Structure 1
Amino acid sequence: MPAYKLMYFEAKGRAEVIRLSFAAAGQSFEDKRYSIEEWYKVKPAIPQHQLPCLQVDGRFIPQSGAIMRYIAREFGFYGDNNNENTRVDVILGASDDFLKNVMSWYYKKDETKKEEIKKDLEETKLPQFFSLLESILKENDGGDGYFVGKKISLADILIYDITDQTSSIAKLPAFPPKLAGLIDRVKNNSKIKEYLAKREKLSQ
């Protein structure tokens, strides 16, 4: 079995979906979390000089998107055929589009503009995103299971993580019914539930 080492900061951020995926797989890994001071010291040795970065038996894999897809393929969270792979990619792409809106607001310096963007996020962008997810979810087993096939996938884990992290910085609208059910299924997955019970309180 390969030795995995995930490197990131003392935060959830772009690494949490990877941690959740390892948890869902029941796979142990070294969860290396750098302080800012430590990061500046090791940064020159890290490919592309950014985090997260995953080491697999000493081999570096940079880029959060590449890492989460790698883990998903390794542990069966990427669908069982090309159609299911593509459905996972659709969710990942839609999520990336949505997260650009969140980041645009979160890092905005102008406080007046920031409030305007937050209002649009909470009243328009979040409901639109949830509605899109609900419609995609209903395409598979009427929305009573997962986004892909009959088992949990990276798409489900990612959406749980996005809603969890966003809820701590913005007011979420009510989940549509099928999406609410999915969120409950993911967080009550026995292995993820065990991880969440032990998870340290981290910043976003």
Structure 2
Amino acid sequence: MPTYKVLYFDAKGRAEVIRLALTVAGQDFEDVRYVREEWEKVKPTIPQKQLPCLQVDGRYIPQSGAIMRYVGRAFGLYGASNDESTSIDVVFGATDDFMRNLITMYYEKDEAKKAELKKDVEQNKTGPYMDILEEILKENNGGDGFFVGDKISMADILVFDMLDQVTAMITLPDFPPKLGALIDRVKTYPKIKEYLAKRK
């Protein structure tokens, strides 16, 4: 049985979706969290010198997108067919598009410009992103289950985690009905519910 280590900082960030996916899979993993001083010491030993990184039996896998897909394929969270995997990738792509706006806003140094970017994200970017997700949900058996097929996948875990984390940066509007119901389903998924209750 492989051993897994999730390497990241002491934060949710880009590693949290990986932690959640391993939790859903029922896979034990070591949650390695570096403070900045520790990270500077180990950084030269990590592929691409960035985090998150997944260690599987000592082998390093960098890049959060690659890690998500690896974990998804390894534990049946990446669709049951090529079509389903592609549908998950569509959700990944839409989320990446939305996150680019947030990252630009987050790293903006000029406070006035940052406020403008935040307003633009809240008024012009968040609603259309949620509408896209709502339509994707409706296309899958009317939207009363998950994004793809009839069970939880990386798409559901990613969207839940991203929308959970961005509340620290922006004010979210009310979720469309299908999306709101999905978020509740993921949040109350037994293994996730247990994880969230113990999370730092």
TM range (shorter): over 0.9
Q: Match for 1:3: what amino acid? A: T
Unaligned runs of 5+ in 2: none
Matched residue, 2:156:
156
TM-fit CA distance, 1:158: 0.2
Matched residue, 2:58:
58
Matched residue, 1:44:
44
Matched residue, 2:134:
134
Deviation digits for residues 82-104 of structure 1, max 9, x if unmatched?
10000000000111111000001
Tell me the distance in 1 between the aligned counterparts of 2:132 and 2:55: 35
Tell me the distance in 2 between the aligned counterparts of 1:19 and 1:41: 24
Instruction: Using structure 1 for the length normalisation, give the TM-score.
Output: 0.97
Matched residue, 1:107:
107
TM-fit CA distance, 1:113: 0.7
Tell me the distance in 2 between the aligned counterparts of 1:165 and 1:23: 18
Percent sequence identity is 64
Matched residue, 1:33:
33
Tell me the distance in 1 between the aligned counterparts of 2:133 and 2:168: 20
Tell me the distance in 2 between the aligned counterparts of 1:113 and 1:188: 38
Tell me the distance in 1 between the aligned counterparts of 2:22 and 2:193: 13
Deviation digits for residues 46-66 of structure 1, max 9, x if unmatched?
011000011100011011100
TM-fit CA distance, 1:169: 1.7
Measured on the aligned residues, the alpha-carbon RMSD in Å equals 0.5
Alignment of 1:92 with 2:92, yes or no, is yes
Matched residue, 1:76:
76
Tell me the distance in 1 between the aligned counterparts of 2:167 and 2:47: 32
Tell me the distance in 2 between the aligned counterparts of 1:185 and 1:199: 18
SS in 2 for 1:109: coil
Moved over 2 A (4+): none
SS in 1 for 2:6: strand
| Greater relative contact order (CA < 8 Å, ≥ 6 in sequence) | 1
Matched residue, 1:176:
176
Matched residue, 2:188:
188
Deviation digits for residues 6-59 of structure 1, max 9, x if unmatched?
100011110000000011111110000000000000000001100001110001
Unaligned runs of 5+ in 1: none
What is the total number of aligned residue pairs between the two structures?
200
Tell me the distance in 2 between the aligned counterparts of 1:18 and 1:197: 17
Q: Match for 2:32: what amino acid? A: K
SS in 2 for 1:6: strand
SS in 2 for 1:31: strand
Tell me the distance in 1 between the aligned counterparts of 2:122 and 2:77: 30
Tell me the distance in 1 between the aligned counterparts of 2:182 and 2:167: 16
TM-fit CA distance, 1:167: 1.1
Tell me the distance in 2 between the aligned counterparts of 1:107 and 1:128: 23
Tell me the distance in 1 between the aligned counterparts of 2:103 and 2:42: 26
Q: Match for 2:141: what amino acid? A: D
| Superposition pairs of residues 112-127 of structure 1, within 5 angstroms | 112-127=112-127
SS in 2 for 1:60: strand
